[in-house]
Structure 1
Amino acid sequence: MIRTPLRPLARILRARERGENPDDIEAENRRRRHEQEQARARRRAEGRLIVMAGCFLLAFGTVATRMGVLASSDAAEPRAQVLSGQIMSQRADITDRRGRVLATNLLTHSVYAHPHQMVDPVGAARGLARIFPDLDVERLTRDFTGERKFMWIKRKISPEQMQAVHDLGEPGLLFGPREMRIYPNGDVASHILGGSGFGNEGVSSAEVIGVAGVEKAFDAWLRDPANEGAPLALSIDLTLQQAMEDVLWSGMTVMNAKGATGILMEVASGEILAMASLPDFDPNDRPRPLLTGEPSDSPLFNRAVQGQYELGSTFKIFPVAQALDLQLINPSSGINAQAPMRIGRFLINDFHNYGRELSATDVIVKSSNVATVRIAQMIGVDRQRDFLEKLGLFVPTPVEMVEAPTGQPLVPTRWPAVTAATVSFGHGLAASPLHLAAAYATIANGGRRVTPTLVHGRQRPEGEQVLSPRAAAMSVDMLRQVVTRGTARQAEVPGYEVAGKTGTADKPRASGGYYKNKVIATFASIFPASDPKYVLIVALDEPETTVNGTVVRTAGHTVVPVTAEVVRRLGPLLGLEPITDEKLPTVAARFEPRVEPATEAAVRLVSNQ
């Protein structure tokens, strides 16, 4: 902007010529300049007022619009709630198949401290150490007399402990309400339930989350308000679970075993009625994981699901059942059992000398490694591997536990002839006892694939037909004869027709190789044999007992008597009526044994090798 001078020279000169006062010219120009500045200031002020009026108009218009929307909408409860409202009472109970509570919630309190509000911090530290012996009085004193403004004392306390803290009379010790997860049956089914802990937490509430087992596998479902607090019904039966754990604990003690596991499964549905792993723990006070040693040294280790074991001779029924299904043999077919047997640079031998030939049934009854390998050779490597894969022995079990994926079977990457031979009698492929239970349940279920589950009453698609019903029935009959006249005579429980197969496998070292005097002893059983309803797997880790002054570790002398006691205890609880008619026909008698002419030639060829 160009400013007009107050005393323009030209006008001053003309005014002097006319005799006028030049100061009048300056006064007039000063007045005009002042009026111009006032006009500009007025325009700026008016603009600001217009902008401010527009802002107020927009703000009040927005508020009025929102009020109108709320006034015209239907009334509803607000969705946003405080943290305690989101957390408290939202985790559903867990029950057994009969509705008995396995896990529930209990209202309790936490105790925390505001050290800056304490009257006697040293006395408070001493008092808390008396109430909670695991607290360090010196550390508490340092914390209470330091710069800390807040600290947790205990996240869960009993009503008696709460009263004792209250009696200290210290205003800096405060309580917060919260729900905690409790397991009223203590260590019963601890590995199945897993346990819980606190997630997001504040002084007035805490979020309960699952940390293992079904608690973690179903964490989202248990916390979902849409379920309206409906309990999660597991397939296990609390009475059966308790009875199995009691018997296993006694058997583990008597047989001097390091650990034990047991699985009772319903054949028709795959529902697990009881599943135990010992030693176990109390989920109300879940121990910390071990950081050194073998995983199985920890009570948290679930042997039934996470254990990867070479299950020994329990596998022998698989090649025999497959050969029956392919009609390569029948129960009376003669199989060459001449030992030792050489495959490449490896020799395969038997525990006893069984002579030159055994019937297919006696291969199972007497548990011949050599004869089992002969049958596996008749099947062929590719068909053997495909059959084991169909039984589910190559992938983790789909059971509803977060630990299930860790139970990945150890399957050979290559499958040469020697691997096919050793796998046929349960060595070279490591799987969990739950894998074994599912495979035996498939045989007991007429050859239709069974998938294990821990959820009661859930509808699932029918499994694949892995074996013909005829082959499956004859296989069960062979397993029955193992108990009546074979290596598992001590498993005979009058009235319950137990059928099964023993397995004793050397325990592998973590560094490679096998222990010379440590084994995994397993007995896989089906009962009653004439109408299979249940599969029972029992395994002992490093058992040994004394027979006639000699230390023995074989399954027939260790795990088989324990299994018999389990059946004896659980049979009546299952409501099974003992079978008293000793003249019942065998399962296989419903089928005419037959072998195709070409197959008979193949059997003779193998028998004469």
Structure 2
Amino acid sequence: MIRTPLRPLATIMRARAQGENPELIERENIRKRHEEMRDKARVRAEGRLLVLGVAFLAAFSVIGLRMGALAGSEAAEPRASASGASILAQRADIVDRKGRILATNLETFSLYAQPMQMIDKERVADRLVEIFPDLNKTRLMKDFTGKRKFLWVKKKLSPEQKQLVHDIGDPGLLFGPREMRLYPNGKLAAHVLGGAGFGREGVNAAEVIGVAGVEKTFDDVLRDPANGGRALTLSLDLTIQTATERVLYGGMKLLNAKGAAAVLMDVHTGEVISLVSLPDFDPNERPRPLTKGDAADSPLFNRALQGVYELGSTYKIFTAAQAMELGLVNAETIIDTKGPMKVGGHRIGEFQNKNYGKLSVTDIIVKSSNRGTGRMALEIGPERQQEFLKSLGLFEPTPIEIVEASGGKPLLPARWTDLSAVTVSYGHGLSSTPLHLATAYAAIANGGYLIKPTILKQDGPRLGPRVMSAGVAAESARMLRKVVTEGTASFGEVTGYAVAGKTGTADKPKPTGGYYDDKVINTFASLFPAHDPKYVLVVTLDEPVETSGDEPRRTAGWTAVPVAAEIIERVAPLLGLRPHVEPLALTDITLASH
């Protein structure tokens, strides 16, 4: 930049020659320079103001557009927003082995409120309490008159409830679409399905997540879009589950039992065809867990998977099977069961102080002799006994795909002494679940193979490692058949379907130690048809008592056995089993004349 001199020499000399004052020339040049500088500064300032004005205009335009968009959209719960994360509401169906719906989705609506938009808050509160009796008017008014701009009123509405709320006509009550989990069969198979609830929630969608049962175990699978909404197929049979639940419920009520459980399993595939625990609940309205007291008192408690019980004399067949497997005895070996018998300073007695004398191994099972079983256990020894019971899966939680099963860990003796071996041989001192027992009995029924219980439909047999020889398994099944035809389970006979099984009556332990005198856990573990076992059924009753006689009867033969027989009679035809009818002798046939 070239500056013009304030006192140009030529101009000064010319002014002096003309007699003018040179100071005036300098002042004029200074004035002109200031005017140029002022003009340039004004132009620069006007440019900056223009840019700033354009920026403010753009900013206010963006804010205005955003405010208009928000005003035209529905409100969202502030805590439900998650940046960059969308709520996945879709969930696959759950069906039984024949494709019948056990759990599905239902399109419904949620109800939320914007108190700032309400016209008559007290009237709205009154009407809402009329429609939803579980709501509290005082709490609603506190929320409506407070500072909250958004609040949930109901997460799920029926079509009738939605219409009633719509008829209130207040602009502060709004609806949001969502999907909810529906169990169309109500309480049926509740402990298997478990239930679902809402995870992340927004006004227009809610995340449905599994909270228990197979819903929780297979939560990722059911929610995975990659599966294309393909249904999860369970091994349950809806019809058989219904029949089992009805019979078991009737038996529980008739026998004044506190609770009951039943497990029906395919002995070759491990498929659980029916699994019942009573009392039960409706997964559509899943109750809250107990916060105090015994967890087993809650209807949420799964007695078939979480109920760890001493299952009594049902264990005796395992002792006989192992003794035969080791070559210590055979079915006809005679064992002296006379008393007294003491082990570790403790007296081993029989039921009602009976003294059976010398019995064969088969008769020890038929008559359910504690001393006979105990003497076989001493021959086997604690170490070998543990190995065999462990091979039957009785030391760890069952691997079935229901989340609650992990809580059913068997209770083992702290020290496995000779006394422990004797008491465990007849089902005391080791506690397990009904499903453990069903799995172990399946090994006898299928020829000696351990199977893995599963709640998923299988394509064919899934036999595991061999735990006993086929001959021992067959001989054990024959012993169990005699328990029904000649022994303690005589009420278990079902016409046309040969039933084999073993009863178990175990005194119920007190929480403080020791056992009750008048409370028992009764179990009947059965397999049918006995000549070619295909299914195992275990029925367990908590504190049953049969009162039709002069004195109350609490043994499994009077309680669990008749209930199991009724279940088998109902479900065997549904399982496709044809009744076996013995032909009449010719002497019983009468020729009738035409």
Question: TM-score range, shorter-chain basis?
Answer: 0.7 to 0.9
CA deviations 1:482-504 (Å, max 9, x no partner) are 00000000000111110000000
Question: Aligned equivalents of 1:427 and 1:459: distance in 2?
Answer: 36
Aligned counterpart, 2:379 = 378
Tell me the equivalent position of 1:515. Answer: 516
Q: Does structure 2 retain, via aligned residues, the 8 Å contact 1:129–1:136?
A: yes
Q: Which amino acid aligns with 2:456?
A: V
Shift of 1:457: 1.9
Listed as ranges, the matches of 1:177-192 within 5 Å are 177-192=177-192
Measure how far apart 1:354 and its partner are.
Answer: 3.5
1:531: which partner in 2? 532
Report the counterpart of residue 254 of structure 2 in structure 1.
Answer: 254
Determine if contact 1:88/1:179 at 8 Å carries over to the other structure: no
Which residue does the alignment assign to 1:299? Answer: 299
Q: Provide the C-alpha distance between the structure 2 equivalents of 1:548 and 1:454, rounded to a whole number of angstroms.
A: 40
Deviation at 1:462, TM superposition (A): 3.6
Deviation at 1:458, TM superposition (A): 5.7
Question: Which shows bigger deviation, 257-266 or 135-144?
Answer: 135-144
Cα drift, residue 515 of structure 1: 1.3
CA–CA separation in structure 1 for the residues paired with 2:328 and 2:583: 31
C-alpha deviation, 1:223, in angstroms: 0.3
The residue aligned with 2:370 is 369
Matched, 1:501 2:532: no
**CA-CA distance at 1:356 after TM superposition:** 2.4
CA distance in 1, matches of 2:85, 2:484: 59
Q: Secondary structure at the match of 2:558?
A: coil
5 Å matches for 1:135-534?
Answer: 135-351=135-351, 352-457=353-458, 462-534=463-535
State the number of aligned residues.
521
Q: Does structure 2 conserve the Cα–Cα contact (< 8 Å) formed by 1:381 and 1:420?
A: yes
Q: TM-score normalised to the size of structure 2?
A: 0.84
Q: Residue 84 and residue 534 in structure 1: after superposition, are their counterparts in 2 closer, same or farther (change >3 A)?
A: farther
Contact kept in structure 1, 2:264 and 2:275, CA below 8 Å: yes
With over 3 angstroms needed to count, the CA separation of the structure-2 counterparts of 1:461 and 1:544, relative to structure 1, is closer
The separation in 2 between residues aligned to 1:551 and 1:391, in whole angstroms, is 35
Give the C-alpha shift of residue 90 in structure 1: 2.1
Any idea what the Cα deviations from partners look like across 1:443-467, whole Å, max 9, x if unmatched? 1110110111000026786401000
Q: CA RMSD in A?
A: 2.8
Instruction: Give how far 1:242 is off.
Output: 0.3
1:600 equivalent in structure 2: none
Q: Secondary structure at the match of 1:134?
A: coil
The 10-residue stretch of structure 1 (574-583 or 418-427) with the greater mean CA deviation from structure 2: 574-583
Following TM superposition, by how much is the alpha carbon of 1:110 offset from its aligned partner in structure 2, in angstroms? 0.2
2:269 and 2:462 in contact (8 A); partners too: no
How far residue 348 of structure 1 moved from its aligned partner, in angstroms, is 0.5
CA distance 1:485–1:237, change in 2 (3 Å): same
Structure 2 CA distance for partners of 1:426 and 1:410, relative to 1, 3 Å: same
CA gap 1:326/1:471 in 2 versus in 1, 3 angstroms: same
Distance 1:458 1:143 in 2: 56
Residue identity opposite 2:114 in structure 1? H
> How far is 1:88 from its partner?
5.7
Letter in 2 for 1:326: L
Query: Could you tell me how far apart the structure 2 residues matched to 1:296 and 1:438 are?
Result: 23
SS class of match (1:428): coil
Q: Aligned equivalents of 1:83 and 1:242: distance in 2?
A: 46
Mapped partners of 2:332, 2:355: distance in 1: 16
Distance 2:101 2:368 in 1: 44
Alpha-carbon distance between aligned partners in 2 of 1:124 and 1:441, rounded to the nearest angstrom:
61
SS in structure 1 at match of 2:580: coil
After superposition, give the CA deviation of every residue in 1:377-414 in whole Å (9 maximum; x if it has no partner): 11111111000000000000000011011001111231
Q: Distance in 2 between matches of 1:539 and 1:330?
A: 30
Q: Which amino acid aligns with 1:401?
A: I
Percent identical among aligned pairs is 59
CA 1:361–1:524: 2 relative to 1, 3 Å: same
1:339 and 1:353 in contact (8 A); partners too: no
Residue deviations 1:22-47 (CA, integer Å, cap 9, x gap): x9xx99xx9xxx9xxxxxxxxxxxxx
Determine if contact 1:340/1:350 at 8 Å carries over to the other structure.
no
Contact 1:83–1:205 under 8 Å retained in 2: no
Given that 2:87 and 2:200 are in contact with CA atoms closer than 8 Å, whether structure 1 keeps it comes out as: no
For 1:204-255, what per-residue CA distance to the aligned partner results, in whole angstroms no more than 9, with x for missing partners? 1100000000000000000001110100000000000000000001000111
Q: Which moved more, 1:541-550 or 1:155-164?
A: 541-550
Cα deviation per residue 1:270-300 (whole Å; 9 max; x = unaligned)?
Answer: 0000010001000000011112221111100
Q: Partner amino acid for 2:478?
A: D
- The SS at the match of 2:403 is coil
Secondary structure, aligned partner of 1:578: coil
The residue that corresponds to 1:99 in the other structure is 99
Q: Which secondary structure state, in structure 2, belongs to the residue aligned with residue 363 of structure 1?
A: helix
**d(CA) in 2 for partners of 1:573 and 1:261?**
20
C-alpha distance in structure 2 between counterparts of 1:310 and 1:229, whole Å: 43
SS of 2:523 mapped into structure 1: strand
State the one-letter code of the partner of 2:475.
Answer: M
Separation (CA, whole Å) in 2 of partners of 1:185 and 1:548: 38
Match of 1:315, SS state, is: helix
- Is the 2:268–2:462 Cα contact (8 Å) retained in structure 1? no
Q: CA deviation at 1:355?
A: 3.1
Deviations 1:555-581 (A, max 9, x none): 011111111111111111111111123
Q: What's the CA shift string for 1:326-372, capped at 9, x where partnerless?
A: 12111110012012310121110001424321100001000000000
SS in 1 for 2:359: strand
How much does 1:514 deviate? 1.4
The 1-side partners of 2:374 and 2:199 are apart by 54
Quick one: which amino acid aligns to residue 262 of structure 1? Answer: A
Q: Following TM superposition, by how much is the alpha carbon of 1:84 offset from its aligned partner in structure 2, in angstroms?
A: 13
Name whichever of 144-153 and 382-391 sits farther off.
144-153
3-state SS of the aligned residue for 1:449? strand
Query: Residue 128 of structure 2 aligns to a residue in which SS?
Result: helix
2:567 equivalent to 1:566: yes
Whether the 8 Å CA contact 2:89–2:207 is kept in 1: the answer is no
What's the TM-score, normalizing by structure 1?
A: 0.82
Q: In structure 2, what is the Cα distance between the partners aligned to 1:83 and 1:219?
A: 23
1:122 maps to 122
Indicate conservation of the 8 Å contact 1:89/1:105, yes or no: no
Letter in 2 for 1:311: L
- Distance change >3 Å, CA 85–CA 184, structure 1 → 2: farther
Inter-partner Cα distance in structure 1 for 2:373 and 2:441: 18
For residues 279 and 83 of structure 2, the distance between their equivalents in structure 1, rounded to whole angstroms, comes to: 38
SS class of match (1:403) = helix
Alignment match, 1:49: none
Aligned-partner SS, 2:301: coil
Render the CA deviation track for 1:461-484: whole Å, top value 9, x for unaligned. 640100000000000000000000
Name the residue aligned to 2:67: none
- Contact 1:88/1:178 (CA < 8 Å) preserved in 2? no
